[in-house]
Structure 1
Amino acid sequence: MHQGMRMVKNDVQSHMNIFVFIFVLFLMGIIFGAVIVNSMNFVQKQDLFFYLKQFFEQQASSPGTGKAVLWKDSVLYHVKYMLLLFLLGISVIGMPVITVLLFIKGLVLGFSVGFLVNQMGWYGLLISTVSIAPQNLIIIPVYLIAGSLALIFSLTLCKQLFIRRVHQPLMKGFVRYSGLFGALMAVLMVSSVVEVFISNSILELVLKWLYE
C-alpha cells in the first residue's frame, strides 16, 4: 500500500502541469459564468429570477421530494458524469471533450452563485453558502482530479500510438486508473449524503425563514 501511495505521489509530481491546467480551466469557467450574469439584460434576469423565486417558495411551503429519492438522483448523476470522464480517458479523442466538460462545470457554478448574489444580495450569498458550498467542497476537487486523471491516461494512449519510443505497461496503468476512479466515486457517495441530508435540510430552513 505504501508503495502504491508513493507511485501516485510520483505521478502527481510528474504531471503537475496537467493538474494546474485543469484547475485554471475550471477557474476560467467560474469567471466566465459570473461574466455571463453581468452581461444579461434586465428582462432576462427578471424572467429567470421569477422561476427561481417560484421554486424557492414551493420548497419553503412543501416538504418536497423524499430524501431517499434525492440521494438516489444525486448518486446516479455522479455515476453518469464519472463514467463519462472515465470512458473519455480511455479514448484518444476524449481530451478536448474532457476539458470542455470541466469548463462547463465551472461555468455552471459561477453562473449559479453569481446570479443568486446579483439578484438577492446577501440573501443570495447565504443561499449559495448553504445549498452549493458544502457538497462542492468535496465534489469540485474530485471532479478536477478525475478530469486530470482522464486527461493523463488519454495522453498516455496518444504517446503509445504515435511515439513508438514510448513503451509503458498499459494494462497496469489501466488497472490503477480504474482503481483511482473507483475511490473517487466512493468519495462522491459521501458528497451526495452531505448534499441531500445536510445542505438540502439547511436550505429548507433558510427558505422557510425567508418566505414564510
Structure 2
Amino acid sequence: MIIGTIHGVGLGPGAADLMSVRADRLVRGARHVAYFRKAGRPGRARRLVDGMLRADLVEYAMEYPVTTEIAVTDPAYNDQLAAFYAECTRHLTAVAQTGEDVVVLCEGDPFFYGSFMHLHARLAGRVPVQVVPGITGMSGAWTASGRPITWGDDVLTIAAATLPEEELTRRIRDTDALVVMKIGRHLPKLRRAIAAAGRMEAAWLVEYAAMPEQRVVPLTQTGDVAPYFAIVLIHGQGRRP
C-alpha cells in the first residue's frame, strides 16, 4: 500500500520571494493543500500562495474553534483545541492513506511556535511526515529594524508575552537581546515589564515584518494593542571589533 506524505512547509515571514526553493516547489506541485485560519478569515498563509497553486487543487481549511475568546488557562481551551487537532489529524491521515501527498502551509517556520507542531506530534508514526523549515517571523522583524539582534557573546532570549508579568520582567532584565512573540492584547503588560526592567528606551515594535504593511516604531510610540503579526525587539550591544 502506497501512503502519501504530509509536508509541513514553512512559508517564511510573509513575502513569497522569501520562501525556500523547496517550499516553492512543493507548494506549486501540490494537489492537496491544508492551512490554518480563523473562522471567517481567508488565512494569511493561504493568501501568501495566491497565484502559485494548481488548477485542480483540493483545499482543506482548518478553522480554529477558539483563539482569544477564552483564556488559555481555562480547561475548555485545551479541550477544544485537542479535539480540533485530532480531527485535522484524522482528515490528513485519511488523505495520505489514499496515496496522496498533502502540503500544510505554515507561516514562518513549522517548528517555531507553529500550529503544525501539534499535528506533527499526532501524525508522526502514523503516516510519513516531512518538515520544510522557513525563515522565522523574528528574523524578518530584526531585519526590518535594520540592526543586528546580537553581537559577540550576547545571549538572546525569546519569550511569549503571555507569560506572567513578573516572569517577563525577570527575563527581560537578565538577557542581552530580546524577542517577544504573541503580543496582541498583552502589550500593556509587556510594556510595564520592559519599563520595570529599565529597558523601555531600547525596545522596538515591529508589525507585519516583510509584508506590505510593515511598520517599525519605538515601543514608546505605540498604543495598547498590537496586531497578531507583531514582535518586540531589544537589540544586543555585545562585543564587537
- TM-score over 0.5 for the pair: no
The higher relative CO (CA closer than 8 Å, separation ≥ 6) is in 1
Structure 1 or 2, whichever has the larger Rg, is: 1
Q: Which has the higher strand share?
A: 2
The structure with more helix, counted as a fraction of residues:
1
